[in-house]
Structure 1
Amino acid sequence: MTFVYKRLLFISLLAMTACLVACSPSKDNAASGNNKNAIVKIDGSSTVFPITEAVSEEFQIETKTHVTVGISGTGGGFKKFCRGETDVQNASRPILEKEMAACKAAGIEFIELPIAFDALTVVVNPKNDFIKSITVAELKKMWAPEAQQTITTWQQVNPAWPDTALKLFGAGSDSGTFDYFTEAIVGKAKSSRGDFTASEDDNVLVQGVINDKGGLGYFGYAYYEENQDKIKAVPIALDEKSAAVLPSKQSVMDGTYQPLSRPLFIYVSAKSAKEKPEVKAFVDAYLRDATALIEEVKFIPLPEKDMQAVQAHWAALKTGTGFGGKPEVGIKIEDLLKRIQ
Structure 2
Amino acid sequence: MKHTLSTTLVLSSLLTVSHTANARDLVKIDGSSTVFPITEAMAEEFQIAEKGKTMVTVGISGTGGGFKKFCRGETDISNASRPIKDSERKLCEENGVEFIELPAALDALTVVINPKNDWVKQLNVEDLKKAWEPAAQGKITSWKQMNPDFPDRPLKLFGPGTDSGTYDYFLEAVVEGKSSRGDFTATEDDNIIVQGVANDVDALGFFGLAYFEENKDKLKAAPISWKGGAAVEPSVENAKNATYQPLSRPIFIYVSKKSADEKKHVERFVEFYMDEKEASKLVSEVGYVPLPEKAYKLAQENFKNRSTGSVFHGAEVGVGIEELLARTPK
Deviation at 1:305, TM superposition (A): 2.2
TM normalised by structure 1 equals: 0.91
- Is the Cα–Cα contact under 8 Å of residues 310 and 340 in structure 1 kept in the other structure? no
Report 1:1-341 matches (<5 A): 3-9=4-10, 13=13, 20-21=16-17, 25=21, 35=22, 37-63=24-50, 64=52, 65-189=54-178, 191-239=179-227, 241-288=228-275, 289-324=278-313, 326-339=314-327
Letter in 2 for 1:130: W
Name the CA distance, whole Å, in 2 between partners of 1:221 and 1:298: 7
Deviation at 1:333, TM superposition (A): 2.5
Name the CA distance, whole Å, in 2 between partners of 1:193 and 1:36: 43
Letter in 1 for 2:27: V
- Is the Cα–Cα contact under 8 Å of residues 111 and 318 in structure 1 kept in the other structure? yes
SS of 1:244 mapped into structure 2:
coil
Show CA shifts across 1:171-195 (max 9, x none): 1110000100011111113x11111
Name the CA distance, whole Å, in 1 between partners of 2:5 and 2:207: 13
Matching residue of 1:30: none
Change in Cα spacing, 1:76 to 1:228, as seen in structure 2 (3 Å) is same
Letter in 2 for 1:274: D
SS of 2:229 mapped into structure 1:
coil
SS of 2:274 mapped into structure 1:
helix
Name the CA distance, whole Å, in 2 between partners of 1:84 and 1:300: 30
Gaps of 5+ in 2: none
Change in Cα spacing, 1:22 to 1:54, as seen in structure 2 (3 Å) is farther
Show CA shifts across 1:220-250 (max 9, x none): 00111111122111111113x3211111122
| Structure 1, 147-156 or 35-44: larger mean CA deviation | 35-44
Name the CA distance, whole Å, in 2 between partners of 1:264 and 1:340: 18
Name the CA distance, whole Å, in 1 between partners of 2:24 and 2:262: 14
Name the CA distance, whole Å, in 1 between partners of 2:44 and 2:328: 28
Letter in 1 for 2:16: L
Letter in 1 for 2:260: A
Deviation at 1:62, TM superposition (A): 2.3
Letter in 2 for 1:272: S
Deviation at 1:22, TM superposition (A): 8.0
SS of 2:106 mapped into structure 1:
strand
SS of 1:292 mapped into structure 2:
helix
- Is the Cα–Cα contact under 8 Å of residues 141 and 154 in structure 2 kept in the other structure? yes
Moved over 3 A (4+): 21-25
| Structure 1, 282-291 or 174-183: larger mean CA deviation | 282-291
Change in Cα spacing, 1:37 to 1:114, as seen in structure 2 (3 Å) is closer
Letter in 1 for 2:46: F
Change in Cα spacing, 1:258 to 1:124, as seen in structure 2 (3 Å) is same
Deviation at 1:340, TM superposition (A): 5.2
- Is the Cα–Cα contact under 8 Å of residues 32 and 66 in structure 2 kept in the other structure? yes
SS of 2:316 mapped into structure 1:
coil
Gaps of 5+ in 1: 26-34
Show CA shifts across 1:238-274 (max 9, x none): 13x3211111122222221111111011110000000
Show CA shifts across 1:91-137 (max 9, x none): 10111100001101111100111121000000110101111111111
Q: RMSD value over aligned CA atoms?
A: 1.8
Deviation at 1:23, TM superposition (A): 6.8
